Structure 1
């Protein structure tokens, strides 16, 4: 990020950084060395990005700022919880030292009748591979409904990605439509998809990407002992 940051820039910065998150990289480094602040409150956009990354896709986001006004503000009370490094190189070394990598299952699906069924198979295989059989049911429903929404409303290729995080399993579907998903009242023609997702997921949402969007949902992981007892941990 370079130039002077003011409140009028917040929306575009937020969208740009959310698009970076939607690509689901292993980590996101935000280089602030060339940034100056016109209105310090505009830096709240960095907090919004950090919160979104924690919810989904569950990757580390590190902000990189050398000594100067931006770093002094970020070390203050409002922003002190943001992960801050001096340079991008030091941020990269930090992530390497942590050794974080998200196990993921990724598949591309055509908008054809068998796509939701295939999505359920992918979700089942992922949950069993990670020894999380109790999540097979909800993961299958979410994956199937997100793919069905692509077929019904986007009509494009879809990329299904299921990832294992320390506390969650996330299910994300990328399509080629820029139209935001929206809940609607169920009727004879349908409308229950996102309501089912919302009812089963710990949280869900969507982010824009170039030429489309990603819709995601997360499920809380459970241990084998708690699964037998029917309790979430």
Structure 2
């Protein structure tokens, strides 16, 4: 039986309820579904395992993959909740003992309530027009000034210019620019309505009309990448805070 994933939310957190027998053949589709949840940038992602059992224990490595991505961006806590006895035993082995595991969804929510420190963010809806790059730079500057990060004004402005210009030139859809302050990083993300990977490629020549393309993002950002999202994708970059 293929694994099923039903996603619900409470306005801040997302809950991904898994059901069925987990097998290695489920890894790719489950990874994509959980990464789409992360692309929504919830305050936390809770994975409800109460209706899931494990047919092939090696398939549990999918949760490590998702947690690594969440740590890189967007910094969202991913909590595994309510496993059955067999699943709990497998998740408690030496190979999986560092996975954040909670007996119930309520217990995970209580932990978040105790540990959460709200991190500020700024979001802006942008049209796919050339003037949006200038507006994006203004938003990035405002965020850095507001959060007392003067050293990041220049690199953040360059990154948003390239990410927004890439949407204007290639995706040609509405987009959402979001800057979020994390404990160690300033996160920058642009969500658009195209599922196509970001373009141009890093190996291509610099783009005269849009600065130096994503090669510049690769040089400036601490890390960057993209995730599929519902109806499109999110391209993100992280700058290390001084």
SS in 2 for 1:24: coil
1:86 maps onto 2:106 in alignment: no
Paired residue for 2:139? 122
Contiguous gaps of at least 5 residues in structure 1: 223-233
Pairs aligned (count): 222
Which of 143, 153, 169 is residue 136 of structure 1 equivalent to?
153
Paired residue for 1:230? none
Alpha carbons 2:52, 2:83 under 8 Å: kept:
no
CA RMSD of aligned residues (A): 1.3
Paired residue for 2:204? 185
More strand by share: 2
| Superposed counterparts of 1:7-156, under 5 Å | 7-156=24-173
1:14–1:168 CA distance, 2 compared to 1 (3 A): same
**Cα distance, 1:193 vs. partner?**
1.2
Residues 38-60 of structure 1 show CA distances to partners (whole Å, capped at 9, x for unaligned) of 11000100001111111100011
Contiguous gaps of at least 5 residues in structure 2: 1-17
Distance in 2 (CA, whole Å) between partners of 1:130 and 1:63 is 32
SS in 2 for 1:57: coil
Distance in 1 (CA, whole Å) between partners of 2:208 and 2:180 is 32
Distance in 2 (CA, whole Å) between partners of 1:80 and 1:53 is 18
Distance in 2 (CA, whole Å) between partners of 1:80 and 1:129 is 40
Which runs of at least 4 in structure 1 moved beyond 3 Å after TM superposition? 187-191
Paired residue for 2:6? none
1:202 maps onto 2:222 in alignment: yes
TM-score by length of 1: 0.92
Residues 147-197 of structure 1 show CA distances to partners (whole Å, capped at 9, x for unaligned) of 000000000001000000000000000000010114141156668311000
Alpha carbons 2:80, 2:102 under 8 Å: kept:
yes
